[in-house]
Structure 1
Amino acid sequence: MRARAEARGFTLIELLVVIAIIAVLIALLLPAVQAAREAARRMQCTNNLKQLGLGLANYESSVGALPPEVVLSGSGSTVTWWGAWSVHGRVLPYLEQAAMYDAINFNLSYSTPQNTTVAGAVVTAFICPSEVRPEPRPRGDGSRYGVTNYGFAMGDWLVWGGFGGAQNRSAFGPNRSRRLGEFRDGLSNTVVAAEVKAYQPQMSNCRPSGVVGPNDVPRPDADPLTAAPEYAGGCAINTNGHTEWVEGVVHQSGFTTAWPPNFQVPGGPNRQDDVNIAGMSEGRGGPTYAAVGSRSYHPGGVNALLGDGSVRFVKETMNGLTWRALGTVAGDEVISSDAY
């Protein structure tokens, strides 16, 4: 009689061992894959900021000065004309977006029907690949606004002193076009743009009671609630920060150096949100004080564009006073290159 060959297969224990080995390999490889993807996203984000830097340099070379944050007219706290277009909109022709720029009617608000197509456009150069919500923000009338992940430097706490009031100490401000020659601190020691998060929660149209003058701003290491009690929920909160790249106000197209990069500011009714204080909108005549922080989804810090066109990854652990100093164009601070 012939012996029947005995069938051979995996035992349950062997199968479990194989699965365990595969799980261990995945656990070892996944962080490396995620790190590689984040490195690629950060590189693209850096390239976007470099494009903005080239755009600003070409704009300054052609026009003779950097673009204004926003253009408006009036007196006291009364605005009689509001040309809300942002720095983003004014540098479009230098970002290979000449057709989009030509479609803008700068004599009309970005919210008018003639400009809604541009206002809702997604501009790749304005969006970091790490942004978790890059989609445009819908409006009640069916139109939409394009978001941005890059804000221009518009002050520390002081953004604008109002008509006839003090100007901020940064590169951009309402009704002001700085020349690069005014950057007395040195172009390589001045931040002109940095990352921001889209759909950032913010306290809107309120003025921090702890900030009463251009020379009476809180230190960057101050407790937020002590510096501005409104952080406890004294103002209306919304999640529309940096969802309108077309609008030239600090909470939509800018940032301030009030707090260091990625600084967490609990606020709102439940103190559970990381919020900004948008202050009194520039469109209401000022004065405007705001703590609109630079934030990113990159671990450890944010990408920042300097006046010379270079991009540095600024650590979130940097000293707040150094960040404040980088935000001024003529503060005469001495900044060591290893401080950030």
Structure 2
Amino acid sequence: MLENKYFNRRRPSGFTLIELLTVIAIIALLIAILLPAVQQVREAARRIQCRNNLKQIGLAIHNYHDVMNVLPPASITGSPPCAACVYPNASGCSECPGPVFRKGPVTVFLLPYIDLAVIYNAIDFNAANIESPLQFTLDNSQPIANVKIKTYQCPSDSYEKFIWNGYGRLNYMTSLGPYSMASNHGNWASSCGCDMTGTAASTLAAALTIYTEATPPGGSQALRTNTGSNRSPGAFGNLTWNNLTGAPIGGCSSFAEFSDGLSNTIFAGETRPTCNNAARSGWYFTSNGCGSGTTGIPINWDSCDQVTVPGSETNCNVSCSANTSYGFKSAHKGGCHILFGDGRVAFVSESIDMWTYAKLGAKADGCVLETDSF
């Protein structure tokens, strides 16, 4: 029987062009579908790490209190005598020299309690200014200011554009509570200043008038300032000295002073070096308040612009404006992580009622808020 050569011919191996293009199209479609999900998973992981960082900071604060019986100061600074700079003559502050007595921000004092005593022990606290000249690690491998501490860095925030001399990034601040950063005259004197008084000429800044009001609308409980040993409405306060008499100003509060309850008081939250010049200097620098934030500024208030216009209201949105840059803010959408006194970390919405937010920052204003109110 003759063999049919047509039946025994093998089909050539490989893909046709149409099949190859179809496979490529399917792969591209799958990537397009999965990529946003992968990015969301990555951001979720970064947010978890950011949350855990604040939990570690909260644990460190409690451990510090267990040892010292008080909370650490937000910063320790001192300035030379200057009559023009005595509060409330705020208009003379531009004539005064900066602090020369700098013993560090709260992030320095917490080092032994986040398992970094080796860095803390390398700091020469006998120096009037621990920042100048720059001090080095015990092995002299690098300046202490340049040490990168993961506990102080939120992985969601990008800082590459604003690296200053390699300083270790700072993404978290302790809370001064509903502390008004506005000066008597609206702080127009400085090229970075913005008006927070809410006058007719400052419509953009009118949203900030809540922090300068003595009594909230509707006749509800007024905010109490200068409470406790730290003379601050919030959990933390700056420790400094009167630049004429040398008398100490401020101090450190103990847990006994939190009459509103630790679970009802904000201890710390996020910041962004891109939007806060003080935080941009890193975790090691005192900067007369570096490491401090206020609940007197809305969460995620936009202070990320880098261009100042002298005498302009738009300066409320620049990173060098002390009036607005010290608000808590994050690289996360919709709000930021906030640490409460009981160690709880919550993601607080940027749309939170501002009087509720302000009261959560106060440790002894007599207002105990239900957790479902924010």
TM above 0.5, one fold?
A: yes
How many matched pairs?
Answer: 287
The corresponding residue for 1:260 is 298
Work out which of the residue numbers 81, 87, 90 in structure 1 matches 2:106: 87
1:168-208: per-residue Cα shift (whole Å, max 9, x none)? 31112221211111112211111111011123255xxxxxx
Measured after TM superposition, the shift of residue 19 of structure 1 is 2.3
2-structure distance, mates of 1:308, 1:261: 21
Cα distance between partner residues in 1 of 2:62 and 2:36: 39
Partner amino acid, structure 1, of 2:261: G
Name the structure 2 match of 1:149: 171
SS in 2 for 1:115: coil
Task: Give the alignment's Cα RMSD to 1 decimal.
Answer: 3.1
Counterpart pick for 1:129 among 155, 174, 184? 155
Do the aligned partners of residues 86 and 269 (structure 1) sit closer, same or farther apart at CA in structure 2, a change above 3 Å counting? closer
Determine if the alignment matches structure 1 residue 104 to structure 2 residue 147.
no
Offset at 1:249? 4.2
Residue in structure 2 matching 1:169, options 212, 218, 233: 233
Among 27, 39, 44, the alignment partner of 1:39 is: 44
Change (3 A) 1:125 1:201: closer
Contact 1:135 1:146 in 2 (8 A): no
Query: Bigger CA drift: 76-85 or 306-315?
Result: 76-85
CA distance in 1, matches of 2:303, 2:161: 25
2:72 corresponds to: 67
Instruction: Give the distance between the partners of 2:326 and 2:257, measured in 1 at CA.
Output: 24
Choose the corresponding residue for 2:54, options 49, 59, 66.
49
CA distance in 2, matches of 1:80, 1:252: 12
Q: Quickly say closer, same or farther: Cα 1:249–1:304, change in 2 above 3 A.
A: farther
Partners of 1:300 and 1:322 lie apart in 2 by 17
1:208 alignment partner in structure 2:
none
Instruction: Return the offset for 1:122.
Output: 0.9
Match of 1:120 in 2: 146
**Equivalent position to 1:29, from 34, 57, 62:** 34
Q: Distance in 2 between matches of 1:80 and 1:8?
A: 79
SS of the equivalent of 1:113 reads coil
Counterpart CA distance in 2 for 1:159 and 1:182 is 23
Q: Does 1:196 align with 2:234?
A: no
Change beyond 3 A, Cα 1:190–1:102: same
1:278 shift after superposition: 4.0
Q: Which deviates the most, 298-307 or 249-258?
A: 249-258
Distance 2:57 2:284 in 1: 15
Query: CA contact under 8 A between 2:175 and 2:269: conserved in structure 1?
Result: yes
Q: CA deviation at 1:2?
A: 2.7
Contact map agreement 2:172 2:268 (CA 8 A) in 1: yes
Deviating runs (4+, > 6 A) in structure 1? none
**For 1:302, what is the secondary structure of its paired residue?**
strand
> Aligned residue for 1:223?
none
Unaligned 5+ runs, structure 2: 86-95, 137-142, 184-224, 240-250
Unaligned residue ranges in structure 1 (runs of 5+):
203-239, 280-288
8 Å CA contact retained: 1:151, 1:255: yes
- The one-letter amino acid paired with 1:177 is C
Distance 1:131-1:145 versus aligned 2 partners, 3 A rule: same
Query: Greater Rg, structure 1 or structure 2?
Result: 2
- Structure 1 SS opposite 2:107: helix
- When residues 18 and 80 of structure 1 are mapped into structure 2, their CA distance, relative to the original with a 3 A threshold, is closer
Give the secondary-structure state (helix, strand or coil) at the position aligned to 1:303. strand
Question: 1:182-261, aligned counterparts within 5 Å?
Answer: 182-200=257-275, 241-249=279-287, 252-261=290-299
Instruction: Give distance in 1, aligned partners of 2:148 and 2:266.
Output: 25
2:5 alignment partner in structure 1: 2
Deviates more, 1:320-329 or 1:93-102: 320-329
Alpha-carbon offset, residue 155 of structure 1: 4.0
Whole-Å separation in 2 of the counterparts to 1:272 and 1:19 = 51
AA in 1 matched with 2:349: K
Equivalent residue, structure 2, for 1:317? 351
- Is the strand fraction higher in 1 or 2? 1
Give a deviation string over 1:39-71, Cα, whole Å, max 9, x none: 221111111111111111111111111111222
Q: Deviations over 1:87-131 (max 9, x none)?
A: 000111111111111111123223223525222111111111212
In structure 2, the residue corresponding to 1:151 is in which secondary structure? Answer: strand
Seen in structure 2, the aligned counterparts of structure 1 residues 181 and 92 have a Cα distance that, compared at 3 Å, is same
Tell me by how many angstroms 1:295 deviates: 1.5
CA contact (8 A) 2:304 2:319 kept: no
Q: The residue matched to 1:33 in structure 2 has which SS?
A: helix
Q: Deviations over 1:235-294 (max 9, x none)?
A: xxxxx6433211234763222223322233575348699534543xxxxxxxxx554121
Q: Once the two structures are superposed, what CA deviation does each residue of 1:130-153 show, in whole Å capped at 9, x if it has no partner?
A: 1212799343xxxx4211111111
